[in-house]
Amino acid sequence: MSEQKTTGFVLPFFVITAFGCASTVAEETYTNPVIHEIGPADPTVIRFEGKYYLYPTGNNTAYHVYTSTDMVHWTKGPKVFEPGERNVWAPDIFHNRSDGKFYLYYTVNRRIGVAVAERPDGTFVDRATLFTNAIDAHMFRDADGELFLYYVQLPGFRIHVQRMETPLEKAGEPKKVIWPTEPWEKKRGSVTEGPWMLTHKGTYYLLYSGTGANSLDYAIGYATANNPMGPFTKYAQNPIVKRGANALGPGHGCVVEDGVGRLWSVYHQQKDGTQPWNRFICIDPLWFDTKGVLHGKATRDTPQQAPVMTKEE
């Protein structure tokens, strides 16, 4: 096991308690990348029992889990799933409250399957193949408990949504919801991939990454709908997270809340342009403005205010 450390100085952070009193919480900064290992990309994260569990694309043959209590300092843990083939990419982790199990949606050789474990750091056992000629699955549970699996159908990098009867069983037919149409999605290859669903005040925000993942112009945009199946309307000012300054090729990640309800994008960047898959893991905030517009940013080598953990954690 190896521990990835990011040092930062401490800032005071004021939190309004339930009684209306301000209390001071010591809050660190972080500097991207938060995991300095070159290679990990396409991260998915869940928060479970006071700890964050991160699963990235890794060595092309298996997935390892990384753990953290603050999203800044990560420890590389055990190998949790190895399909026995190469081209193992873009995992997604889902904790099913109904049975308490953890479901790992994996991509191997352009095939999406699902494996199951009793714990987030346990060994996952393969259970089913769900799609062929497909990549980048993401399971979403709506407020009413309904399940929807988003994924990318190939060729054409077309994002589909599949209603699910259970985490292992499909219900009905999939529906195409996003495909490459905008100039930024076609800058270095015609691509829409890496779907992730987020809700805010009754609106469904489908985040996705566009253009070639091996380019420095890889970026993140979103589309909105009034239900999980769409139709979706792309935000006119996409992409909301893109290259700038020394942040290169930011894309394909997930969204997770910290201990005070702030949203964080956990994603990857390219280290530089010397080779196409020269990637590492980063975090940066996402936020909604008063009009419901979703905003984000990509930073690197500049101290930023870190996530906050609640007292009980």
Give the residues across from 160 on adjacent strands.
Answer: 151, 176
The domain segmentation of the chain, as residue ranges, is: 2-305
pLDDT of residue 94: 98
Q: Is-contact 180 192, C-beta < 8 A?
A: yes
* pLDDT tens per residue, range 16-46: 333 343 433 445 899 999 999 999 999 999 9
Cα–Cα distance between 86 and 63 in angstroms, integer? 11
The two tokens of residue 160 are 């589909």
* pLDDT tens per residue, range 74-92: 999 999 999 999 999 999 9
Nearest in space to 172 (alpha carbons), one of 190, 196, 146: 146
**Amino acid at site 134:** A
Question: Is the Cα torsion angle 276, 280, 282, 286 positive or negative in sign?
Answer: positive
**Amino acid at site 111:** R
Computed over every residue of the chain, the mean pLDDT equals 91
Pick the CATH number of 2-305 from 3.50.50.60, 2.115.10.20, 2.60.120.560, 3.90.110.10: 2.115.10.20
What's the pLDDT band for 245 if we cut at 50, 70, 90? confident
pLDDT of residue 308: 87
pTM of the full structure: 0.91
Element (H, E) at 313: none
The two tokens of residue 239 are 């992409």
Question: Residue 120 pLDDT more than 80?
Answer: yes
pLDDT of residue 309: 73
Other beta carbons within 10 Å of 184: 15
